[in-house]
Amino acid sequence: DVKVTQSSRYLVKRTGEKVFLECVQDMDHENMFWYRQDPGLGLRLIYFSYDVKMKEKGDIPEGYSVSREKKERFSLILESASTNQTSMYLCASSETGPAVSTDTQYFGPGTRLTVL
Amino acid sequence: GDSVTQMEGPVTLSEEAFLTINCTYTATGYPSLFWYVQYPGEGLQLLLKATKADDKGSNKGFEATYRKETTSFHLEKGSVQVSDSAVYFCALVVATGFQKLVFGTGTRLLVSP
């Protein structure tokens, strides 16, 4: 079974802190994604990566950055956390290259981040 | 741009009732369509998918048919169980450029014994 793990289930940080959310997948997947999930808004894509050291902005990249130094690991960074970044953050991965539109994305359990 | 519209929840049903969750989409190309499910405390997992018009996706008793003429992908199940209580997300990917999933807002299903 594909396994996508996220470093924390719950996280509480203060405004202005630098926050790291880590995601690891164990199936040698090419693509990895970060979403945030908010009530009434569904899931929105923050960043994605289709290869090591490659990254692309999603729909809501402002206030976030990412890092992918190894294929299995994709980190989301909040440079200076703000209260409007309080949310559920979901990481996902998928197997093949960028052109396959039918590929399944596998999700981690999520990190619920609260910024005070 | 591409978008997905789902019926608002929660949908509250008794066990063994028939379920329909409506989903319609707007897309510039020819999308593939998905239903993902999120059980309490978990991440999303793929429930079913359909990649072209008139395809029917099915899994665990759930079905959805890709209707190009009505731009719809409604989720149905003939007899729901308490264990089906979850949030259901309709999503699409357009087969041009990167495989970016576009999600609906989700519909919470509550099934009581």
Mean pLDDT by 10 residues, chain A (116 residues): 87 97 93 92 91 89 96 96 97 73 82 96
Q: Is residue B53 less than 8 Å (CB to CB) from chain A?
A: no
pLDDT computed for residue A54 by the predictor: 87
Q: How far is A30 from chain B (nearest CA, A)?
A: 12
Whether the pLDDT of residue B95 is over 70: the answer is no
Q: Which residue has the higher pLDDT, A95 or B104?
A: B104
More confident position, B50 or B8? B50
pLDDT of residue A101: 55
Which pLDDT tens digit goes with each residue over B12-36?
999 999 999 999 999 887 888 999 9
Mean pLDDT on B31-47: 92
Burial of A15 (0-12, 13-18, 19+ CB in 10 A): exposed
B99, A103: Cβ pair inside 8 Å?
Answer: yes
Statement: residue B10 has pLDDT above 60: yes
Q: How far apart are CA B10 and CA B40, in angstroms?
A: 14
> At CB < 8 Å, which residues of chain A contact B?
4, 31, 40-45, 48, 50, 56, 58, 90, 92, 94, 98-110
Whether residues B43 and A90 touch (CB distance < 8 A) is answered with: yes
CB–CB contact A109 B46 (8 Å):
no
Contact residues for A84 (Cβ-Cβ < 8 A; gap 6+) = none
Dihedral sign (CA B32, B29, A32, A70): positive
Under a CB-based contact definition with an 8 Å cutoff, are residues A79 and A65 in contact? yes
Q: Residue range B49-74: average pLDDT?
A: 95
pLDDT of residue B109: 97
- pLDDT given at position A40: 85
Average pLDDT over residues B62-83: 96
Helix (H/G/I), strand (E/B), else coil: A26:
coil
- DSSP string for chain B: --EEEE--S-EEEETT--EEE-EEEE-SS-EEEEEEEE-TTS-EEEEEEE-STT-EEEETTEEEE-BTTTTB--EEESS--GGG-EEEEEEEEESSSS--EEE---EEEEEE-
A94 to B89: CB separation less than 8 angstroms, yes or no: no
pLDDT of residue B96: 58
pLDDT band at B101 (very low <50, low <70, confident <90, very high): confident
